[in-house]
Amino acid sequence: MADAGAPDPASRAVGGMGAAVLGTLFSQSAVGLHVLDTHLRVVQANTLSGVVPDEHLVGRYFTDAYHVERPDEAEHLLRKVLDTGVAVHERVIRGRPVDSSGPSRRLMVSVHRLNDTDGRALGLLATVVDVNEREKARVRTACLTAVRTRVGRSLDVAATCEGLVEAAVPAFADFAVVEVVDDILRGSDPPPGPLGPDVPLRRAAVRGLGTDGYRSGLVGEMRRLSDRTPYSLAASDLRPRLVRIDARTPWLDADPDSARLIETTRATSLIVAPLKLHGAVLGLVSLYRCRGTEPYEENDLPLVLTAAAHVALSIDNARRYERDHVIASTVQRRLLPQADGGGIAVETAHALLPGRNSGCWFDTIGLSGARTALMVGSIEAPGLQAAITMGQLRTVIHALAGLDLEPDEVLARLTDTAGRLAVERAALPPGDWLHRQSPTATCMYAVYDPFSRTCTLARAGHPSPVLVSPDGTTTTLDVPEGPSLFSSDSSPFATAAYELDEGSVLAFFTGSLLTGDGSAHRVREVLARPGRNLQDLCDDMVYNLPAETHPEGAALLLARTGVVPADRVATWELAHDRTSPAIARTLVRDRLDGWGVEEETIDATELIVSELITNAVRYGTPPLHLRLILDRTLTCEVHDSSRVSPHLRHARTVDEGGRGLFIVSRLATHWGTRYSGNGKALWTEQELPLPAADPAVAGRS
């Protein structure tokens, strides 16, 4: 029987094994092992713990032994483990072993507390692994992922460049600059490489640590590349350059602008790479690392090249979109009215806010009888197609307006035209991208009659206008909503008619104008301030819109209603007999003499009125009215209660009559028939000669 007081052989074996394990770890482990006392000084370290022998570490504080960049944070971490006993695993810090030169490296530290048999703290066991290369690879991967995530989300060149510098700084670069060929920002084709010294580059994006004031002054600056610099070489042979920078760098003297940037940022390393696509140069990307950061190395170049290729493709996509947008916006501007088309009784003002959508439009068309057609609309379609479709619909509306149709009839026929356009698009080959595009459009159409002060409105999926009374009261008009254009809904359109006070303001706008928070309230507040110049009122509405409320673009049309001045109109009621033409000729001559109209125009007007009155007496029914309106044109109207439409015909040589309307059509610039609830009106318009210029004024011009 064994002696109970003798040591257990198994216990001795375990104790010896523990010592052997500890010895093996300190002699052969690839991980740096450090035993720290309670004062956080190194009391033991293995010889593989760093690039210096262990005797250079023993006796030093751990934060001094590794020149930790943030010693206070590292000491707090060690003290917390010592006090709580809770281990810390794989915490990455920056530092470098004592007596080693060069920049700080990434070190992964794990810390465990060492306890005696009673659980009291004896010290700490800290493991240190140099993970600098692994972290570099991780940073490169994360940076490239960030570039792919942030770059290409916007079809804007500046935003694309900004995405690159945001992805690169601070993870991969301390300072980043993206320069783009200036013409590309306006959608032009990039110049074929190599890039000549006469081609200007504009800084589209700049980002850096601690240089906010300096970098903000760089954005938007333009420069030309100096000869014999890394920038000009990269733009010339389309290859990247990795450059170490010090006080003796020779090319800095040839490029004072870059020298100033490097001095300000204290840069010590640079990678400059061309933004190239299909042999064409779009710009340059320059990445800098500054003092205190590891300089760039050859392994960083593949990342920069991959990121630059992605950015170049995104910039080219944005450039193509910008070019299409510029073309579409130009077409839109050319298709919109170039001059005020309002009549004598309506004052108008408008604003067209640019945006991604080139299909917003407005129009003012003078109609017969001093009436005015007011309209606003919007097309939702990609790029140039929106402007083209807008031009097609606007042309149709002009043609329909000349027929003196009611607003609901105009929109009904406009819908028919939109349907035919949709059928034509559907008939395109399946490979044509337009075959897959289905535009949508809205329109508001209104006609104002200054004699009855009535505005008749109809809308096709468009927001109702706002009416501002002369006292500043604002009201959204209740106009029945009809189906939008290009829709499959065949519901009929309805009209709403409102009698307006003289001096009322109608505000027509596209729906995108009021999409922002508080936009509708602000617009109403501005409109409720009467008595201002109409264009000032229109501009104030734009000024008071919240920022970024119309990214798609918007149109605004204001119309102040009035009446025809009494001295610009003359109305007579005539007897329904054969004496009326002669009487009408006398009345017209006297009135036109009083207005100072030229004799040639008076003679033509007498003949026009004589033929119209004769036609009304012969084929119409009483009562019979004659009205003259003097505006930019001279309008003659003959009203009777018959709804029978006269027809222009060419009389044969043996006919004694039938030439009346033919004569009218030859003398008048425009003529037509307008129907109402109590009959019809035959009307003509004659262009008036422009007043002779004052010789004194002409001599000064």
329 within some domain: no
Whether residue 317 is found in the same domain as residue 422 = no
What does R_g of the chain's alpha carbons equal in angstroms? Answer: 42
Structural domain ending residue among the three candidates 292, 324, 356:
324
What span, in angstroms and rounded, lies between the C-alpha atoms of 518 and 300? 49
Strands (E), 537-620: 554-561, 569-574
Q: Which domain holds residue 105?
A: 29-130
Q: Facing residues of 639 across strands? A: 625, 681
Whether residue 292 is found in the same domain as residue 356 = no
Whether residue 260 is found in the same domain as residue 171 = yes
CATH at residue 464: 3.60.40.10
Least confident of 36-40, 73-77, 551-555, 634-638: 551-555
207 within some domain: yes
Q: Cβ distance 241 to 234 under 8 Å?
A: yes
The Cα angle at residue 297 between residues 291 and 300, in degrees rounded to 5: 110
Determine what percent of the chain is predicted with pLDDT higher than 90.
Answer: 25
What span, in angstroms and rounded, lies between the C-alpha atoms of 295 and 203? 24
pLDDT at site 10: 44
Question: Residue 136 above 70 pLDDT?
Answer: yes
Element of type H or E holding 410 = helix 407-426
601 within some domain: yes
Whether residue 451 is found in the same domain as residue 399 = yes
User: What confidence tens digit (pLDDT) does each residue in 560-601 have?
Assistant: 999 999 999 999 999 988 899 999 999 999 999 999 999 999
Question: What order do you get walking across the sheet with 222-223 strand by strand?
Answer: 222-223, 201-208, 175-181, 280-290, 267-277, 241-244
Question: Residue 697 above 70 pLDDT?
Answer: no
In this structure, the number of other CB atoms found within 10 A of the CB of residue 263 comes to 10
Nearest CA among 349, 500, 490, 497 for reference residue 411: 490
User: What confidence tens digit (pLDDT) does each residue in 446-461 have?
Assistant: 999 999 999 999 999 9
Residue 671 binned pLDDT confidence (cut-offs 50, 70, 90): confident
Question: Residue 501 above 90 pLDDT?
Answer: yes
The two counts, helices (H) then strands (E), for the chain are 17, 27
Whether residue 257 is found in the same domain as residue 311 = yes
Whether residue 140 is found in the same domain as residue 126 = no
Q: Which residue has the higher pLDDT, 52 or 88?
A: 88
Amino acid identity, residue 634? L
Spatial CB neighbours of 699, under 8 Å, sequence gap ≥ 6: none
The highest-confidence range among 538-547, 578-587, 653-662, 686-695, by mean pLDDT, is 578-587
Query: Half-sphere exposure of residue 321, counting CA atoms within 13 Å on the CB side?
Result: 18
pLDDT at site 623: 92
Nearest CA among 99, 135, 140, 102 for reference residue 294: 102
Residue 701 binned pLDDT confidence (cut-offs 50, 70, 90): very low
Q: What are phi and psi of 182, to 5 degrees?
A: -55, -40
Domain count for the chain: 4
Mean pLDDT, residues 232-242 taken together: 89
Question: Residue 221 above 90 pLDDT?
Answer: no
Lookup: tokens for 404: 């003196």
Q: Which residues of 363-395 are buried (b: 16+ CB within 10 A; e: fewer)?
A: bbbbbbbbbbbbbbbbbbbbbbbbbbbbbebbe
Q: Cβ distance 562 to 346 under 8 Å?
A: yes
349 CB-contact burial (10 Å; exposed 0-12 / middle 13-18 / buried 19+): buried
Residue 652 binned pLDDT confidence (cut-offs 50, 70, 90): very low
15 within some domain: no
Kindly report whether the peptide bond that precedes residue 194 is cis, defined as omega within 30 degrees of 0.
yes
pLDDT at site 699: 38
User: What confidence tens digit (pLDDT) does each residue in 261-318 have?
Assistant: 888 888 889 999 999 888 888 889 999 988 878 889 898 999 999 999 999 998 888 8
Spatial CB neighbours of 258, under 8 Å, sequence gap ≥ 6: 226, 229, 231, 252
CATH at residue 99: 3.30.450.20
Amino acid identity, residue 660? G
118 within some domain: yes
Whether residue 120 is found in the same domain as residue 88 = yes
Handedness of CA 47, 49, 54, 59 (dihedral sign): negative
Whether residue 229 is found in the same domain as residue 206 = yes
pLDDT at site 548: 62
pLDDT at site 499: 94
Question: Residue 54 above 70 pLDDT?
Answer: no
Question: Residue 211 above 80 pLDDT?
Answer: no
10 within some domain: no
Structural domain ending residue among the three candidates 561, 578, 604:
561
Nearest CA among 240, 271, 257 for reference residue 201: 257
Spatial CB neighbours of 511, under 8 Å, sequence gap ≥ 6: 378, 442, 462, 463
Question: Residue 372 above 90 pLDDT?
Answer: yes
Alpha-carbon distances of 249 from 91, 168, 174, 298, rounded to whole Å: 38, 25, 20, 19
Mean pLDDT, residues 154-171 taken together: 87
CATH at residue 601: 3.30.565.10
Whether residue 441 is found in the same domain as residue 298 = no
Whether residue 371 is found in the same domain as residue 487 = yes
**First-residue to last-residue Cα distance in the chain:** 134
What span, in angstroms and rounded, lies between the C-alpha atoms of 275 and 273? 7
Whether residue 576 is found in the same domain as residue 671 = yes
Structural domain ending residue among the three candidates 85, 104, 130:
130
694 within some domain: no
Q: Cβ distance 469 to 504 under 8 Å?
A: yes
Mean pLDDT for all residues in the chain: 82
User: What confidence tens digit (pLDDT) does each residue in 461-471 have?
Assistant: 998 999 999 88
Question: Residue 353 above 90 pLDDT?
Answer: no
Mean pLDDT, residues 334-344 taken together: 68
408 within some domain: yes
Whether residue 419 is found in the same domain as residue 297 = no
Lookup: tokens for 92: 């990455």
CATH at residue 206: 3.30.450.40
What span, in angstroms and rounded, lies between the C-alpha atoms of 160 and 165? 9
